[in-house]
Structure 1
Amino acid sequence: MIAASALGLGVLLSTSALLFGAVKIVGAIYLIWMGVKLILTKPAPDGVETDHLKPTIRQALRREAMIAVSNPKAILIFAAFFPQFVDTSSYWQSYATLGAIFIALEACAITLYAAAGHFAAAFAYTRLHWFQRTSGAGMIVFGLILFFSRQPGRA
């Protein structure tokens, strides 16, 4: 998102209703598709090892990247927020510095979420199927909200 914003995608999305709509629809469909996949996931039988179902780091990063790139509102936030702090005389260096700071803070937040998730996993182990269904329903709801949302700044 940082790179897309630095390259002008945020400005393009904020000025082009057609492009914003296309990215929004793709993102909404992707969220709904992931939600349906989670809802349709069958629970693992008792005593069956489920480690083979865990995504690899590469798969997890690819999924996260698809979700991030398909969220036009996040790119618009970067396009509206970051430029306020960019020194135009050293544009790329300023963007790189801001991006590095953001990524470092995001890494701290992700580490906290992962630690909380690790402890919650023990609690949710027997309830994982219902957690997945609830998460899937939430993704569908957010996909529908995204699908029917308006472009920021437009009436």
Structure 2
Amino acid sequence: MYGIHDFGLYVGTCILLNLTPGQDTFYILGRSMAQGRSAGMASVLGISSGALVHSLAAALGLSAVVAASATAFTVIKFAGAAYLIWLGIRMLLSPKQDNALVSNAQAPASFGKVYRQGLLTNVLNPKVALFFLAFVPQFIAKDSGNPFAAFILLGLTFVTTGTIWCFFLALFAASLGRHLRERPGFGTWLNRTAGALFVLLGLRLATSK
């Protein structure tokens, strides 16, 4: 269909790639443990939406522009790194939280904000754009009648498998975090740990080639 070949191999590869820990995985784990299930779910949806943006951009050829321009790649990379570091510093400097305050961090009102932050975290990572550009075309025949549709379908497949896996991760991490937050002082510790993790992820992105 649409010139897609070896679809079974593609799906299997997608699952293996999604199981491999990366920046998005650690971001979701940090959010889920520190701020609960709602924040975890919002992070997953935000990251997945960002991956859809990258898939569409690659299908339209925009990722090729980033790949061809060192300046564009560098600007986007540092913007993403700065955003992650900013989020981390905010969590590191947040006031101490008792159990009641930590519970309020999971309020539905914060869902949209966490979703947007996850979306920006993924969109501002040029390595994701290059991944879609390098990986997906390998499973589209050169004589495909509709390569754009093929690219979108393969992109949706990758995002779907990744979203399912990340939902499981978020639920597990949120459950673990909830038990830890029942101990005095652990809510603040989790927030600080997640903040430090985001700063490290930002520095890792900034120094990546």
Instruction: Provide the TM-score with structure 1 as the length reference.
Output: 0.85
Is 2:88–2:194's contact at 8 Å kept on the other side of the alignment? Answer: yes
Which whole-Å CA distance do the structure 2 matches of 1:49 and 1:17 have between them?
Answer: 44
- Pairing 1:97–2:156 present: no
Pairwise CA distance, 1:138? 1.8
Task: Determine the structure 2 residue equivalent to 1:53.
Answer: 105
Question: Residues 57-100 of structure 1, C-alpha deviation per residue, up to 9 Å, x if partnerless?
Answer: 32222111100110011111111001111243211221221122
Pairwise CA distance, 1:22? 0.5
Task: Determine the structure 2 residue equivalent to 1:143.
Answer: 202
Q: How much identity, in percent, do the aligned residues show? A: 28
Question: Residues 14-46 of structure 1, C-alpha deviation per residue, up to 9 Å, x if partnerless?
Answer: 110010010011011101101101101122235
Which whole-Å CA distance do the structure 1 matches of 2:61 and 2:140 have between them?
Answer: 13
Equivalent residues in 2 for 1:24-39 (5 A)? 24-39=77-92
Pairwise CA distance, 1:116? 0.4
Task: Determine the structure 2 residue equivalent to 1:112.
Answer: 168
Equivalent residues in 2 for 1:9-88 (5 A)? 9-45=62-98, 48-54=100-106, 56-87=110-141, 88=144
In the alignment of these two chains, the number of paired residues is: 149
Pairwise CA distance, 1:120? 0.7
Is 2:102–2:187's contact at 8 Å kept on the other side of the alignment? Answer: no
Greater Cα shift, 113-122 or 67-76: 113-122
Equivalent AA in structure 1 for residue 60 of structure 2? L
What is the Cα-based RMSD across aligned positions, in Å?
1.8
Which whole-Å CA distance do the structure 2 matches of 1:119 and 1:23 have between them?
Answer: 34
Is 2:97–2:187's contact at 8 Å kept on the other side of the alignment? Answer: no
Task: Determine the structure 2 residue equivalent to 1:123.
Answer: 179
Which whole-Å CA distance do the structure 1 matches of 2:105 and 2:206 have between them?
Answer: 30
Pairwise CA distance, 1:51? 4.1
Pairwise CA distance, 1:50? 4.1
- Pairing 1:133–2:185 present: no
What residue ranges of structure 1 are gaps of 5+ in the alignment? 151-155
Is 2:63–2:133's contact at 8 Å kept on the other side of the alignment? Answer: yes
Is 2:140–2:150's contact at 8 Å kept on the other side of the alignment? Answer: yes
Task: Determine the structure 2 residue equivalent to 1:6.
Answer: 59
Pairwise CA distance, 1:143? 1.2
Task: Determine the structure 2 residue equivalent to 1:153.
Answer: none
Which whole-Å CA distance do the structure 2 matches of 1:124 and 1:6 have between them?
Answer: 43
SS at match of 2:96: coil
Greater Cα shift, 65-74 or 87-96: 87-96
Instruction: Provide the TM-score with structure 2 as the length reference.
Output: 0.65
